[in-house]
Structure 1
Amino acid sequence: MPKRTYVCGFDAAMAVMGGKWKGLTLFALGEGPLRFGQLRRAVPGISERILTLQLREMEASGLVHREVHDQVPPKVEYSLTEFGHSLNAALAPLGAWGEEHIDRIEALS
């Protein structure tokens, strides 16, 4: 499979974080490490299956770190990597824009 090339930086960024759930998951993890159940509660509406898939993709992309603690019962925590924090910082102005215009956006839907 040939390596993908991107048209611009926005294209590259969307390839890494594309979709509704990744942005919301990144935002939730911006507050600090969370276990799977905590993360699922922090992202209302996401199914267990989709959260698992999104976390695997974000881990493969280098956005999220998965740490398994050696204990019984097993404890797994997810946290942002430096790469993930940098993407969250880039998304912050977009979130602020959404907050500023949320009433107008809701009125359109």
Structure 2
Amino acid sequence: MRAGDLRRRRTNVRANVRAVPGPCAHWNDEDADFIREVLDLVGDKWSVLIIGTLADGPVRYSDLGDAIPGISQRMLTLTLKHLQRTGLVTRTSYPEVPPRVEYALTDLGRSLLSTVLALAAWSVDHHAEIRRHQTTYDDGNAD
């Protein structure tokens, strides 16, 4: 599916819902659709990990892949392209042998970094509590 088709499918998401409760209710349909699109991108685990990994400056493609356990080369490439398209990451290719490609956060990406780091800090702060809830739930719902 092409990106344009995907964007059209996401348009008017709220128009298909009768009422949107809570803090999102004050946005119009166009803003709500755009917010959903951005959250889909930056809320993805790979995007969050890439943004966090780029916090200290430019990183080579291969080093970025090595720094993020479990990410496939395909997923790394796709996520970097989405982050570039959104203006959060830049790609710089150097005419060397072998070729060298580096990725870095843009000013817009750096403005998101504090939110990403705050989410990571929240995760660490609540790790034990979350694990405790998961264990309790799993023990009570074992089939």
**Cα distance, 1:52–1:84 mapped onto 2, change above 3 Å:** same
Residue matched to 1:28: 53
Determine which structure has greater relative contact order: mean sequence separation of CA pairs < 8 Å that are 6+ residues apart, divided by chain length: 1
**Cα distance, 1:29–1:75 mapped onto 2, change above 3 Å:** same
Q: Does 1:94 align with 2:119?
A: yes
Structure 1 gaps of 5+ residues are none
SS of residue in 1 equivalent to 2:91: strand
Query: How many pairs align?
Result: 109
Counting only pairs closer than 5 Å after superposition, residues 1-109 of structure 1 correspond to structure 2 as 4=11, 5-7=30-32, 11=36, 13-107=38-132, 108=134
The CA RMSD over aligned residues, in Å, is 2.2
Native 8 Å contact 1:66 1:77 kept in 2: yes
Q: Which has the larger radius of gyration?
A: 2
Native 8 Å contact 1:66 1:79 kept in 2: yes
Q: 1:63, CA displacement in angstroms?
A: 0.6
Structure 2 gaps of 5+ residues are 12-29, 136-143
SS of residue in 2 equivalent to 1:72: coil
Structure ranking higher in helix proportion: 2
CA distance in 1, matches of 2:65, 2:59: 9
CA distance in 1, matches of 2:35, 2:106: 20
TM-score by length of 2: 0.67
Native 8 Å contact 1:6 1:12 kept in 2: no
SS of residue in 2 equivalent to 1:6: helix
